[in-house]
């Protein structure tokens, strides 16, 4: 079958890998000249298989008034005249219950563990892939006793789902990651997950696209998709248009990240995907600096740090303010100050490259993977803060479903609701 995938980010390319492997004739289309030109370019680099609990959790509601009024808050809402924004916020708030959050965590762990297995298989099968992949392990540090207490409870729950994690004292945190020595008095403890990985998502996409091209996948780059419309001859089928011409396809997969909702809306396909704007800074590591070997999350500040080769990537911030990719200098400065407080050597010595990206977020934090009411239109969207982590599993689910037409238990969990 001829399959057109809209989007050459980590989700579109992973989908291309599995669909091509199943024997389909695959074309990836993107509006940019290069792959990974949007959200997959500068993300936090975490393959965070055991840290998938959604932002929508029971602890969030009490923090929101503080977060939404302080300028240095990691989450900010800028109200827009947008029904989509308000609908998303209301659905987000209704998902902030213990029951819903535990259910989402359970579902996402099943998908992330599948993703981990498939990522490791891919790396073994494609030795030319080169993307700063390291089995680094991850340490989430907590600064107050209450947060550490909640983290221990989550650890117990996640252990029951198969995650291997350990609670550490501040001394043990520093023993594991000496670059944290100067902040030891500020720490209440940490949770260590030895099985987590880190890697450069943009380099993964570039490297994977080289493999895909060699395997016969076609790329139509610099090709904006202007419209999706129903076929004149068959109202239950969709056509994809770029610059006034339709692109021939038996099936179409939408993997267009944060821009999925406006693209699908004219067809009457509503997906609750809204952009959550985030920032990253990439520092070139000065020689002999105290930089972390392990991936670190500063829980209270919601900032993640990953070593990518000879660079340190700091990423965080979630601003609910629409589709603009304009960087707010104050938010960049805030992220820089966070990085400087935790890793002063690096931040002092290195010039940092700032980047802005839009997380394609659903209110509950679960991606949308599967068929639509149109016979030939499929979705792989809404991966929020976990697109790199969940890419392989989501792509395998989509490819299996598109190939066999059969539902399966894990596929059902992420299926579109229409
Ligand atoms: C600050 C930040 C930190 C993050 N950290 C992590 C992390 O540590 N670990 C993790 O797992 N995830 C992380 N994420 C999330 C992750 O980056 C995303 O979930 C993932 O990149 C989404 O991939 P995607 O392929 O869906 O979207 P994208 O990478 O945005 O790709 C979508 C593609 O579709 C194309 N497109 C859209 N519309 C059209 C159109 N009309 N015509 C043609 N092409 C179109 C775009 O050009 C784009 O190339 C982070 C995100 C941010 C913002």
Q: What is the pLDDT of residues 405-417, one digit of tens each?
A: 777 888 888 988 7
Q: State mean pLDDT over 108-130.
A: 97
Please indicate, yes or no, whether residues 19 and 98 belong to a single structural domain of this protein.
Answer: no
Which range among 71-75, 232-236, 263-267, 297-301 shows the weakest confidence by mean pLDDT?
A: 232-236
Which of 318, 341, 361 finishes a domain? 361
Domain count, the chain: 2
Percent of the chain with pLDDT over 90: 84
Please indicate, yes or no, whether residues 296 and 324 belong to a single structural domain of this protein.
Answer: yes
Using the mean position of ligand 1's atoms as its centre, give its distance from the Cα of residue 36 in Å: 8
Please indicate, yes or no, whether residues 208 and 228 belong to a single structural domain of this protein.
Answer: yes
* pLDDT at 18 exceeding the cut of 60: yes
CB-CB neighbours of 400 under 10 Å: 16
Using the mean position of ligand 1's atoms as its centre, give its distance from the Cα of residue 324 in Å: 14
Using the mean position of ligand 1's atoms as its centre, give its distance from the Cα of residue 236 in Å: 29
Q: State mean pLDDT over 232-249.
A: 93
C-alpha distance from residue 319 to each of 39, 77, 316 (Å): 14, 6, 10
Please indicate, yes or no, whether residues 192 and 314 belong to a single structural domain of this protein.
Answer: yes
Please indicate, yes or no, whether residues 254 and 227 belong to a single structural domain of this protein.
Answer: yes
Atom 3 of ligand 1, residue of closest alpha carbon: 43
Mapped to the 3 state alphabet, what secondary structure does the chain carry?
CEEEEECCCHHHHHHHHHHHHCCCEEEEECCCCCCCCCCCCCCCCEECCCCCCCCCCCCHHHHHHHHHHCCCCCEEECCCCCHHHHHHHHHHHHCCCHHHHHHHHHHHHHHHHHHHHHHHHHHHHCCCCCCCCECCCEEEEECCHHHHHHHHHHHHHHHHCCCCCEEECHHHHHHHCHHHHHHHHHCCEEEEECCCEECCHHHHHHHHHHHHHHCCCEEECCCCCCEEEECCCCCCCEEEEECCEEECCCEEEECCHHHHHHHHHHHCCCCCCEEEEEEEEEEECCCCCCCCCCEEEEHHHCEEEEEECCEEEEEEEEEECCCCCCCCHHHHHHHHHHHHHHCHHHHHHCCEEEEEEEEEECCCCCCEEEECCCCCEEEEECCHHHHHHHHHHHHHHHHHHHHHCCCCHHHHHCCCCC
Tell me the C-alpha distance between 16 and 236, whole Å: 24
Residue 121 inside a domain? The answer is no
Q: State mean pLDDT over 303-326.
A: 95
The domain of 216 spans 2-40+203-273+365-413
Mutation test of ligand 1: which of 359, 384, 394 has the most ligand atoms closer than 8 Å to its C-beta?
Answer: 359
Atom 31 of ligand 1, residue of closest alpha carbon: 9
Atom 20 of ligand 1, residue of closest alpha carbon: 387
Atom 38 of ligand 1, residue of closest alpha carbon: 256
* pLDDT at 234 exceeding the cut of 90: no
Quickly state the pLDDT bin for 328 (edges 50, 70, 90).
very high
405: domain CATH number is 3.50.50.60
Quickly state the pLDDT bin for 103 (edges 50, 70, 90).
very high
C-alpha gyration radius of the chain: 21
Please indicate, yes or no, whether residues 397 and 311 belong to a single structural domain of this protein.
Answer: no
Please indicate, yes or no, whether residues 91 and 157 belong to a single structural domain of this protein.
Answer: yes
- Specify the ligand 1 atom closest to the Cα of 41: 29
Using the mean position of ligand 1's atoms as its centre, give its distance from the Cα of residue 170 in Å: 35
Residue 112 inside a domain? The answer is no
* pLDDT at 418 exceeding the cut of 60: no
Residue 116 inside a domain? The answer is no
Using the mean position of ligand 1's atoms as its centre, give its distance from the Cα of residue 278 in Å: 11
* pLDDT at 161 exceeding the cut of 60: yes
* pLDDT at 288 exceeding the cut of 80: no
**pLDDT tens by residue, 208-231:** 999 999 999 999 999 999 999 998
The answer to whether 172 and 129 have CB atoms below 8 angstroms apart is no
- The pLDDT of residue 28 is 98
Identify the residues whose C-beta falls under 6 Å from ligand 1: 6-12, 29-32, 37-40, 43-46, 48, 224-225, 255-259, 263, 278-280, 304, 315, 357, 359-360, 383-389
Residue 123 inside a domain? The answer is no
281: domain CATH number is 3.30.9.10
**pLDDT tens by residue, 120-140:** 999 999 999 999 999 999 999
Residue 221 inside a domain? The answer is yes
Please indicate, yes or no, whether residues 352 and 320 belong to a single structural domain of this protein.
Answer: yes
98-125 and 145-160 are packed helices; what angle lies between their axes, rounded to 10 degrees? Answer: 70
Residue 338 inside a domain? The answer is yes
Please indicate, yes or no, whether residues 285 and 193 belong to a single structural domain of this protein.
Answer: yes
Residue 145 inside a domain? The answer is yes
Please indicate, yes or no, whether residues 81 and 149 belong to a single structural domain of this protein.
Answer: yes
Please indicate, yes or no, whether residues 236 and 261 belong to a single structural domain of this protein.
Answer: yes
Atom 14 of ligand 1, residue of closest alpha carbon: 385
Q: Which two tokens stand for residue 37?
A: 């030109």
DSSP strand pairing (2-6 vs 25-29): parallel
The mean predicted confidence, pLDDT, of the chain is: 94
The answer to whether 391 and 382 have CB atoms below 8 angstroms apart is no
CB-CB neighbours of 199 under 10 Å: 23
Which of 345, 361, 377 finishes a domain? 361
Residue 124 inside a domain? The answer is no
Closest CA to 272 of 358, 409, 365, 373: 365
Mutation test of ligand 1: which of 5, 9, 255 has the most ligand atoms closer than 8 Å to its C-beta?
Answer: 9
Please indicate, yes or no, whether residues 145 and 11 belong to a single structural domain of this protein.
Answer: no
């Amino acid at each position: 079958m001829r399959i057109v995938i809209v989007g050459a980010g980590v989700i579109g390319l992973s989908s291309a890998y599995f669909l091509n492997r199943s024997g389909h004739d695959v074309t990836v289309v993107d509006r940019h000249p290069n792959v990974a030109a949007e959200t997959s370019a500068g993300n936090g680099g975490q393959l965070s298989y055991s840290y998938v609990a959604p932002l929508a959790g029971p602890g969030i509601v009490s923090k929101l008034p503080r977060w939404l009024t302080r300028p240095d808050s990691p989450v900010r809402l800028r109200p827009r005249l947008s029904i989509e924004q308000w609908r998303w916020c209301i659905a987000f708030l209704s998902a902030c219950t213990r029951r819903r959050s535990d259910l989402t965590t359970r579902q996402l762990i099943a998908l992330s563990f599948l993703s981990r297995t498939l990522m490791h298989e891919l790396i073994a099968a494609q030795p030319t892939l080169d993307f700063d992949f390291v089995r680094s392990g991850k340490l989430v540090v907590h600064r107050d006793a209450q947060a550490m207490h909640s983290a221990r409870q989550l650890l117990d729950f996640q252990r029951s789902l198969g995650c291997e994690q350990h609670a550490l004292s501040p001394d043990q945190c520093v023993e594991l990651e000496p670059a944290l020595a100067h902040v030891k008095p500020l720490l209440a403890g940490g949770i260590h997950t030895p099985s987590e990985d880190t890697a450069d998502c943009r380099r993964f996409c570039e490297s994977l696209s080289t493999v895909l091209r060699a395997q016969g996948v076609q790329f139509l780059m610099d090709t904006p998709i202007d419209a999706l419309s129903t076929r004149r001859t068959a109202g239950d089928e969709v056509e994809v248009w770029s610059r006034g011409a339709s692109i021939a396809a038996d099936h179409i997969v939408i993997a267009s990240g944060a821009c999925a909702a406006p693209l699908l809306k004219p067809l009457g396909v509503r997906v609750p995907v809204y952009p959550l704007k985030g920032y990253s800074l990439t520092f070139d590591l000065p020689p002999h600096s105290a930089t972390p070997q392990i991936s670190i999350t500063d829980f209270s500040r919601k900032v993640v740090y990953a070593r990518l080769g000879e660079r340190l990537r700091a990423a965080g911030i979630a601003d609910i303010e629409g589709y603009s990719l304009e960087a707010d200098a104050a938010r960049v400065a805030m992220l820089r100050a966070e990085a400087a407080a935790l890793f002063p050597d690096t931040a002092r010595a290195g010039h940092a490259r700032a980047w802005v990206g839009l997380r394609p977020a659903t209110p509950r934090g679960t991606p949308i993977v599967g068929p639509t009411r149109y016979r030939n239109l499929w979705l792989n969207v809404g991966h929020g803060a976990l697109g790199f982590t969940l890419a392989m599993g989501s792509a395998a689910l989509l490819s299996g479903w598109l190939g066999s037409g059969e539902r399966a238990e894990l596929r059902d969990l992420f299926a579109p609701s229409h």
